[in-house]
């Protein structure tokens, strides 16, 4: 794969990521992570103050699977459609096949009556590797500026 | 509009709660005076947040901005976060360290005891302007709260006649605080959750162990907590505070199948987590209790959910909104593995909590649905009517009635109608 097409593939991974969440295809969304991939949502307040607490933390793909199973079978949350608006993807590093990316996103939630609220603005800090020729998330860190969470944090950011 | 005086209480055992109390603007304003600035002790923070002289945090008591800091002599003090000159918010950051608190507007500076120390151009410039000749900076200090600390937990009161903190908490609450704050703690971080409902609906929520396995289906689906487990509720003698407690692994599948018969699926043996590390309880207290929800009137919850420990502060944003401010901690002597375990279990609670996320939705649904039903009442009889008493079971909402009995007293409401 050429360098340029690898870059395109990495950028399109982020696009696929947000579309799968917004289409509620969360089981497919999980497959964008490698088996020992991690997914952590951090509050900017804690990051700035040096505290380790996450808003959501999945330290393995199994924990991601559990999170989505719980959403499907156990949790009751505010009924909404999510829409992510993804900003430009910056490639910070791509040494030895390990890609470090940064991108901003905003997430809107629309309720059953068609009213839309801005739910979060956040920064993705991602580590992406290629597995069987396809880019997959090794570590995905979401730092939310909107750490005063409106209602609840149910579906992924 | 209603006032606290005109809220209708059809029975005197608080099994009926007037919906107007959740919505009315005048009731809300009166609560700020009679409850948050009344003869209560409000939770302000933890000593571990301000270990050094000059450390401060800004917080809210009800909706009053508060500046909490540690003085040079080690004492903790709290003030209204407002400059005495023209009323500007004094400290804008959530936390920090300052040797003086200087107002950005005109640079009036206060020491850590709240005493005004300096005013620029106090005697004017070239003999002109400035403060009147008889002005003494020492005559001005920040409006302060009484502060008392119990086992590292900081409380404040605006009332000169409030009872001592130890009496306000009472022996049952003190025992629960002593148990969790049994050695130095280590802060792990904060979470915030905006809930679009009245602050008392959240107080009701944490005094209602019955909803645990009905609203929060994570428990039931994956078998972490069931109302058929050993547990119960206990209150202080005024019933204003309450503790719900339970122990893990004290019910079996057969009991649960019976208990949940004829209801919508709330208990299902079919689902298992792939990674059960989150459900492991590392026993760390002398007893077997794995769940404590301690609610201290009017604005504090202290939580132990297995090894996840935190305080939740209830801040009011108006009659229809509250913010929950979650402060998570472990112990100073935790090793890295234990800290990671507590952080892992923090997935269970907070705004993204697998167990607790539903509370925000339930509170909002009540708030929205009762807007035009303000002459109607909530129906609170689970666990029984009449006397408000401790119970050794969890299918109860008795502590809600305890909260309201004390609310009623503080709000100076006239005696109720005929007993029901």
In tens, the pLDDT along B77-105 reads 999 999 999 999 999 999 999 999 999 99
pLDDT band per the 50, 70, 90 thresholds, residue B420: very low
The pLDDT of residue B249 is 60
Phi then psi dihedrals of residue B357, to 5 deg = -60, -25
Domain coordinates of chain A in residue numbers? 3-144
Contact list, A49 vs chain B (CB under 8 Å): 95, 189-190
CA angle B263, B229, A72 (to 5 degrees): 50
Average pLDDT over residues B183-190: 98
Closest CA to B341 of B281, B263, B408: B281
Identify which of B189, B193, B220 has the shortest CB distance to residue A53.
B189
Q: Predicted ipTM?
A: 0.95
Between CA B91 and CA B283 the distance in angstroms is: 41
Instruction: Look at B86-90, B223-227, B287-291, B403-407 and tell me which has the smallest mean pLDDT.
Output: B223-227
* Reported CATH class of domain A3-144: alpha beta
Topology of the domain covering B42-148: Rieske Iron-sulfur Protein (2.102.10)
- Six-digit token pair at B105? 């507007």
Residue B267, C-beta contacts closer than 8 angstroms, at least 6 positions apart: B213, B220, B221, B226, B256, B257, B259, B260
B190 Cβ under 8 Å from any chain A Cβ: yes
The pLDDT of residue B268 is 54
Average pLDDT over residues B332-356: 96
As annotated, the residues of chain B forming the CATH 3.90.380.10 domain(s) are: 181-410
According to DSSP, the β-strands at A148-150 and B185-195 are: parallel
As annotated, the residues of chain B forming the CATH 2.102.10.10 domain(s) are: 42-148
Give tens-digit pLDDT for A87-138: 999 999 999 999 999 999 999 999 999 999 999 999 999 999 999 999 999 9
A30 Cβ under 8 Å from any chain B Cβ: no
Closest CA to B359 of B205, B208, B244: B205
Between CA B166 and CA B397 the distance in angstroms is: 26
Whether this prediction's pTM lies above 0.90 is answered by yes
Residue A134, C-beta contacts closer than 8 angstroms, at least 6 positions apart: A9
Average pLDDT over residues B136-154: 97
Give tens-digit pLDDT for A37-68: 999 999 999 999 999 999 999 999 999 999 99
Q: Kindly provide the b/e burial profile for residues B327-343, where b requires at least 16 CB atoms within 10 angstroms of the residue's own CB.
A: bbbbbeebeeeeebbbb
Contact list, B192 vs chain A (CB under 8 Å): 43, 45, 147-149
The answer regarding whether domain B181-410 maps to CATH 3.90.380.10 reads: yes
H-run or E-run covering B149: strand B144-150
């Amino acid at each position: 794969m050429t360098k340029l097409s690898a870059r395109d593939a990495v950028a399109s991974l982020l696009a696929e990521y947000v579309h799968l969440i917004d289409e509620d295809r969360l089981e497919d969304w999980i497959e964008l992570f490698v088996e020992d991939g991690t997914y952590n949502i951090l509050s900017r307040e804690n990051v700035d103050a040096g505290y380790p607490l996450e808003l959501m933390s999945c330290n393995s793909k199994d924990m991601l699977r559990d999170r989505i199973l719980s959403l499907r079978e156990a949790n009751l949350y505010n009924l909404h459609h999510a829409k992510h608006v993804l900003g430009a993807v910056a490639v910070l590093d791509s040494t030895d096949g390990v890609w470090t990316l940064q991108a901003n996103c905003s997430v809107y939630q629309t309720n059953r009556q068609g009213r839309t609220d801005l739910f979060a603005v956040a920064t993705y800090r991602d580590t992406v590797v290629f597995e069987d020729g396809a880019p997959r998330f090794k570590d995905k860190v979401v730092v939310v500026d909107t750490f005063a969470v409106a209602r609840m944090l149910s579906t992924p950011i | 509009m209603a006032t606290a005086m005109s809220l209708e209480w059809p029975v005197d055992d608080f099994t009926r709660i007037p919906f107007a109390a959740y919505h009315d603007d005048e009731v809300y304003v009166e609560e700020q005076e009679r409850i948050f600035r009344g003869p209560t002790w409000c939770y302000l923070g933890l000593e571990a947040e301000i270990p050094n002289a000059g450390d401060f945090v800004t917080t809210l008591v009800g909706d009053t901005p508060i500046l909490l800091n540690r003085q040079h002599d080690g004492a903790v003090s709290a003030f209204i976060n407002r400059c005495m000159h023209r009323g500007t918010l004094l400290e804008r950051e959530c936390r920090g360290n300052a040797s003086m608190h200087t107002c950005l507007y005109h640079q009036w500076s206060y020491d850590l005891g709240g005493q005004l120390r300096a005013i620029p151009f106090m005697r004017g410039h070239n003999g002109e302007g400035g403060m009147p000749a008889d002005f003494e900076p020492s005559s001005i200090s920040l409006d302060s709260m009484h502060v008392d600390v119990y086992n590292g937990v900081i409380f404040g009161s605006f009332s000169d006649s409030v009872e001592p903190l130890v009496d306000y908490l009472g022996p049952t609450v003190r025992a629960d605080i002593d148990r969790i704050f049994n050695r130095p703690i280590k802060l792990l971080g904060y979470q915030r959750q905006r809930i679009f409902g009245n602050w008392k609906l959240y107080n009701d929520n944490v005094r209602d162990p019955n909803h645990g396995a009905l609203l929060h289906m994570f428990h039931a689906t994956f078998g972490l907590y069931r109302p058929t487990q050993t547990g119960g509720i206990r209150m202080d003698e005024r019933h204003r505070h309450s503790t719900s407690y339970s122990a893990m692994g004290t019910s079996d599948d057969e009991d649960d199948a019976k208990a949940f018969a004829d209801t919508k699926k709330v208990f299902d043996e079919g689902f298992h987590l792939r990674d059960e590390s989150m459900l492991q309880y590392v026993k760390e207290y002398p007893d077997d209790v794995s769940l404590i929800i301690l609610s201290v009137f009017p604005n504090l919850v202290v939580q132990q959910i297995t090894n996840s420990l935190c305080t939740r502060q209830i801040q009011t944003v108006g009659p229809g909104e509250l913010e929950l401010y979650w402060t998570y901690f472990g112990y100073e002597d935790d090793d890295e593995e234990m800290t990671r375990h507590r952080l892992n279990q923090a997935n269970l609670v907070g705004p993204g909590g697998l167990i607790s996320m539903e509370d925000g939705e339930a509170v909002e649904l009540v708030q929205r649905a009762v807007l035009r039903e303000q002459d109607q009442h909530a129906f609170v009889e689970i666990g029984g009517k009449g006397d408000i008493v401790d119970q050794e079971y969890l299918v109860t909402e008795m502590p809600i009635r305890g909260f309201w009995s004390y609310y009623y007293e503080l709000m100076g409401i006239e005696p109720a109608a005929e007993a029901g």
